[in-house]
Structure 1
Amino acid sequence: MTSLPHRLLQALDGFNAAHPWDHNAHYHRWILRQLPGRFGRALDIGSGSGDLARLLATRADEVRGIDSDPVITAQAQRLTSPTTPVTFTVAEAPNGIPAGPYDVITCVATLHHLPFTETLTVLRRHLAPGGTLVVVGLYRADTAVDHLLGAVAAPLNAATGWLKNRGGSTPRPLSVTAPTRPAGMTFAEIVGEARDALPGTRSRRRLFWRYTLVWAAGAEVVSAE
């Protein structure tokens, strides 16, 4: 006999499929709050259809967006006004990152597809002195706190999907086309490796199965957000 929790999960999955919304875009405004009012060059890794890159362009002199998917990269370029200072390139991180330095580097729901420590080390080299790296990533639930956050997020996820799709409007397509890969690292593993690669990193679990990581080039003291 199917357990009640499993039935609830199936019901939530069905509801979420009918009322999709972009969990990553939910954090875009939060990302902007971590950044200066104005900055020079920015790099968005895993730029998808370009929503975050275009948002960064409201603050930046120049933005580069890179993604390994040529289809979504072409879509990003089509959606971007020629007057917007954003360039999209098909490239693989970490080795295909266009030469920096960058005052801002963002990476949303992409880092779990890449070699974690190696990528952070490469990003550190591409960041200008005083620059800021902001990551929104996925982690593998492991502890009681992780599972509690997941339990809290499930009904909130459904409610947010309903609010964003109410009125019978057709939801906007999500900003990625590639299949998502489950996160392999726990939050504790992410924090430990991030602190080794980027001393002074601020990391935090977030709702909707995400974590955030913020690092300022030149940071020396590890602190909690």
Structure 2
Amino acid sequence: MSPLPHRALRALERFHAARPWDHNAHFHRWILRQLPGRVGSALDVGCGSGDLARLLALRARRVHGIDADPEITARARELTPAATPVTYTAADALTGLGEQSYDVITCVAAVHHLPFEPALKAFRDHLAPGGTLVIVGVARERTPVDHLFGIVSVPLNLVMALLKSRGRPVPRPVSMTARTRPADLSFTEIARGARVVLPGARLRRRLLWRYTLVWRRR
């Protein structure tokens, strides 16, 4: 049974339809704070329409975005100024990474679309020595702590929608992302698997239905 009455859920849906905002983009500046001041190369896995890839170009001499959806990568190219050192490829995130290694790899709200541990191994193997991996992910709520974070996120989500729109209805964001599906793994399962593949990884539950993972390769 839904924790909120049906009428309340419909009201929330109407509210957010009038005031959409990008939950993933909310973490982009936080991602930049996890990175060195300047790096040679960066890879954004599940790049969507390239918002984060273009931000990474402020830190990296070369940025590559990869996404399984050709329409989205075409849109990313359209939105990226010609002088920006960012390229895009429509390819599978596990088989399309090629042979190159990167100083930075980011993945936002995309790793739950992939086999989790194989994806982490692929990211690890393509990270250069001293490189940084940053993941912002989505987990399935299973434990009381998970549900508590979800409950607290509901009013915060309302506040953020008001702040982002400054109280006025706004059009939907221009950025495009792939069709999403629910996460299969809980945060506990994610943390257990990540620490096997990426010893020393730092994981945190976050509000707004996200978790973060940061790992630096020695």
Bin for the TM-score computed over the shorter chain: over 0.9
- CA gap 1:65/1:4 in 2 versus in 1, 3 angstroms: closer
Note if contact 2:19-2:171 (Cα within 8 Å) is conserved in structure 1.
no
Root mean square deviation of aligned Cα? 1.5
Count of aligned residue pairs for this structure pair: 216
**Residues 116-146 of structure 1 deviation map (CA, whole Å, 9 limit, x = unaligned):** 0001011111000000000000000011111
Unaligned runs of 5+ in 2: none
Matched, 1:11 2:11: yes
Q: 1:3 to 1:96 in 2, by over 3 A?
A: closer
How far off is 1:4 after superposition? Answer: 5.2
Contact 1:134/1:212, CA 8 A, preserved across alignment:
yes
Whole-angstrom CA distance in 2 between matches of 1:152 and 1:205: 12
**Matched residue, 1:175:** 176
Which amino acid is the alignment partner of residue 184 of structure 2?
A: G
What secondary structure, in the 3-state scheme, does the structure 2 residue paired with 1:135 have? Answer: strand
Q: Using the aligned pairs only, state the percent identity.
A: 60
- In 2: Cα distance, 1:149 partner to 1:7 partner: 23
User: How far off is 1:9 after superposition?
Assistant: 3.0
Moved more, 167-176 or 77-86: 167-176
Please give the alpha-carbon distance, in whole angstroms, between the structure 2 residues aligned to 1:174 and 1:16.
Answer: 17
Gaps of 5+ in 1: 219-225
1:69 and 2:69 are equivalent in the alignment: yes
Structure 2 matches for 1:8-157, cutoff 5 A? 8-157=8-157
Q: Which runs of 4+ in 1 moved over 3 A?
A: 2-7, 166-169
Tell me the residue number matched to 1:204.
204
Displacement of 1:169? 3.8
Residue 202 of structure 1, CA deviation: 0.3
Under a length normalisation based on structure 2, what TM-score does the superposition of the two structures give? 0.94
Q: Does structure 2 conserve the Cα–Cα contact (< 8 Å) formed by 1:54 and 1:86?
A: yes
